[in-house]
Structure 1
Amino acid sequence: MEHVKPLRADGRRNRERIVAAATEWVGRDGAQVSLEEIARRAGGGSATLHRHFPSRQSLLEVVFRDGVAQLCARASSQPGEDPAAELAAWLEDLAVYTATHRGLAAALLTGPDGLAAEEICSTDKLLVVLSVLVARASSAGAIHARATAEDLLMLANAIAVANEDDPLTASRVLRLALTGIRP
């Protein structure tokens, strides 16, 4: 078994600053943002960035997985009184995240590391969370009984990808589409 040496406090702070800068700049400029710009914005140099993230893809994976974890955490918070509104709000968060982080999933899928789409996109994690939201809304009679988590995930992602340069339009189109799932 390989022993991984834990990061020192300064190394951990550097890594956190790099991830924060990458998250901000990928959201601003898309997945093709300059790694040098990320390093500069994080207050370090290119060597520091590459010490923590040997490839663009390794950095983008962390940015994407952190975003998915935040989305999942928001959905896992206490259930609200309106399951349909809770479901719609979470799907809107997902669509806005995907549209804001232009090209992130596509960059990961076409990257050199050869990871499976399901692994990169965290589809299983998103579906677990979304299934709970769909079940609550369905039990309350707030959405069509045939609406599935898989269908809604596909809908939100398709709208977001079609509007990658415009998260506000992605949000508006998703809200329009969601009115069609109510009985």
Structure 2
Amino acid sequence: MSGETLRPLRADARRNREKILAAAVRVFTAQGLDAHLEGIAKEAGVGSATLYRNFPTRQALIEAVYRNEVARLCEAAPALLAQKSPFEALRAWTRLFLDYVTAKYGMIDALRAIAATGGNPYGHSREMIQAALTSLMEACVAAGEIRADIPPTDIAAALEGIALTSAGAEHRQQAERLLDLTLDGLSVRR
């Protein structure tokens, strides 16, 4: 079967898959890993059979949700740069980073369990996120909006630190204030 090529999903099947992934983020974030898959299907507006056809196991769903969230975060960088000034794109992306981390922490135990069984849900996520952040920062430096002496790895560490301490919904305002403080420190003084 290795020579078999996969057909692209029909538009309705792709929409159902996207609805399931979006619902799973919401449900796992709110209820944690004990969330019932049938509840996710209901939240997505699809039948359980549709969910299981797309994701035959809880592990498959969790991995797909995580990878989808990483892809959405990384794909947002060029879209934001096309719509906003580089600094405002960076600011908006840091908020999306908080959303990503909040969703990730709702699934952290499951992701660890998958990794413990030999799976690799994280794959190249760190590199992908670092590349997205680097592109945003390079655009800001080129526009003269941020300092050039701070490497993206330092900002990534700051974002991770903020997210670790303040990513929960109850701490969102504090997290956003800390993000603004970090970005203000990165700004070029005029």
Q: Same fold (TM over 0.5)?
A: yes
Contact 2:162 2:178 in 1 (8 A): yes
Cα displacement (A) at 1:99: 2.2
Q: 2:149 aligns with which of 119, 130, 146?
A: 146
Q: Percent identity?
A: 34
1:73 and 2:78 equivalent? no
Aligned to 1:182: 187
CA distance in 2 between partners of 1:81 and 1:95 (Å): 19
Count of matched residue positions in the alignment of Structure 1 and Structure 2: 181
CA distance in 1 between partners of 2:19 and 2:88 (Å): 34
Aligned-CA RMSD value: 3.0
Amino acid at match of 1:142: E
1:124 and 2:127 equivalent? yes
CA distance in 2 between partners of 1:74 and 1:21 (Å): 20
Cα displacement (A) at 1:146: 2.5
Can you give the 5+ residue segments of structure 1 that lack an aligned partner in the other structure?
Answer: none
CA distance in 2 between partners of 1:106 and 1:63 (Å): 14
- Tell me the TM-score normalised to structure 2 length: 0.74
Aligned to 2:106: 103
Instruction: Kindly report which structure 2 residues correspond to 1:18-57, keeping only aligned pairs within 5 A, or say none.
Output: 18-42=20-44, 43-45=46-48, 48-57=50-59
Contact 1:71 1:93 in 2 (8 A): yes
Aligned to 2:97: 94
Cα displacement (A) at 1:147: 1.7
* Residues 2 and 35 of structure 1, relative CA distance in 2, 3 Å threshold: farther
CA distance in 2 between partners of 1:136 and 1:79 (Å): 11
Contact 2:166 2:175 in 1 (8 A): yes
SS in 2 for 1:147: coil
CA distance in 2 between partners of 1:19 and 1:141 (Å): 38
Cα displacement (A) at 1:74: 2.1
1:114 and 2:115 equivalent? no
SS in 1 for 2:123: helix
Amino acid at match of 2:186: I
Cα displacement (A) at 1:126: 1.5
Contact 2:63 2:121 in 1 (8 A): no
Can you give the 5+ residue segments of structure 2 that lack an aligned partner in the other structure?
Answer: none
Larger RCO, structure (CA 8 Å, separation 6 or more)? 1
SS in 2 for 1:102: helix
Cα displacement (A) at 1:164: 3.2
